[in-house]
Structure 1
């Protein structure tokens, strides 16, 4: 039996256009205000973290061909993963240390990295949570979907942000250093953060991403 979708409220909003084939869903209360993204791809569509499972979201996903992969960037973004997999028959992917949080589901796990298709790679960036991970999409000069590993500050700049739920702060900083080593200004143009998107003030995406990362003063951490 398919899950019963939540009826839209008067304030329900449709996903917003980010880039040609990338869309952002409104912040989801089930994931403490997390932002989910959707990539419409030639080899299959990718849903990054869980949006609210309301009629608007389901209709939008169906109208674009459904979901092939659902990638969970961290344990706080699980939301209604079970219902989404049941409804769309998608493959759920999560870093191996957090797969236990999805009992009874068929999941694909990875350790350090996993290549989904010719354009997409998953990268383990522990710190915010044990299995915190990012998705790298190599179109448009490179787009990093950072979950809560990197989120905008009040100035809209991507930073690691320490909270009461941070698993291991030093590992989070090392994960940031790893990304700086992996990428270059030519391979990382944008960041799509998984939270605090209101600080982008309508921009929907962080441009000149690599330059922002290298400008972070790691000495203050």
Structure 2
């Protein structure tokens, strides 16, 4: 038994299902109060995706170990949490943008990408620096009964029910790159996608809701010029 396995594991509580094939984990202090997600493969076969790390507890571990196959996608350093313990327990590959791969020395099956990556058909990653140097988003395209989803990490944070925006904190990396990432995101996204936004930040501002609707319209309506002007003042 390794030193990590020997550490006590709290009981915790299981994630809740919020859409077909989509679960939300409880906020994790290990990720500064952020949100982690589990996305089942739309076909019912293949590997699911754990987007960022939830709290390492018995309930979350049992939920993930019950899945036949999976992989982990990190949307930024704030979502790393107890990655090493999850990876050791699950044995899943970990996808991370290359700017933050150095933060995970010794992690097995570490797969890093530069500007873009495609995990499989309908699952695409885009590097979006700004919240942190290696921030990234994951787009799950519309498929069968599942609407399109954008897992945006900390690129957009809930600020009110049904609304999200770029929200700097004392740990934020670079505001100018953040705004350029949002501009690039608009070009990269397919027309009329995504339907829903799944943030990796805390979701308290959504008042009990888990997702932000009309996500493409929200992204298109962000006033980047005004945000840039605020920084210059």
Per the normalisation by structure 2, the TM-score is 0.88
| 3-state secondary structure, aligned to 1:85 | helix
Q: Which runs of 5+ in 1 are unaligned?
A: none
> Hey, what does 1:78 align to over in structure 2?
80
Is residue 2:179 matched to residue 1:173?
A: yes
How many residue pairs get aligned? The number is 217
Identify the match of residue 109 of structure 1 among 99, 107, 112.
112
Q: 1:87 aligns with which of 86, 89, 93?
A: 89
In 2: Cα distance, 1:209 partner to 1:60 partner: 28
Q: Which moved more, 1:152-161 or 1:55-64?
A: 152-161
- Equivalent position of 1:38 in the other structure: 38
C-alpha separation between the residues in 1 aligned to 2:189 and 2:219?
10
Match of 1:200 in 2: 206
Check whether the contact 2:125–2:137 (CA below 8 A) recurs between aligned residues. yes
Provide Cα deviations, 1:78-137, integer angstroms capped at 9, x if missing partner: 111111111111001100010000011131000011111112111100001100001110
What TM-score, normalized to structure 1?
Answer: 0.92
Query: Could you list the runs of 5+ residues in structure 2 that have no partner in the other structure?
Result: 228-233
Q: Classify the secondary structure of the residue corresponding to 2:151.
A: strand
1:185 is displaced (CA, Å) by 5.3
Distance in 1 (CA, whole Å) between partners of 2:189 and 2:125 is 14
8 Å Cα contact 2:193-2:215 kept in structure 1: no
2:29 aligned residue = 29
Is the contact made by 2:161 and 2:207 (CA closer than 8 Å) also made in structure 1?
A: no
- Tell me the C-alpha RMSD between the 2 structures: 1.5
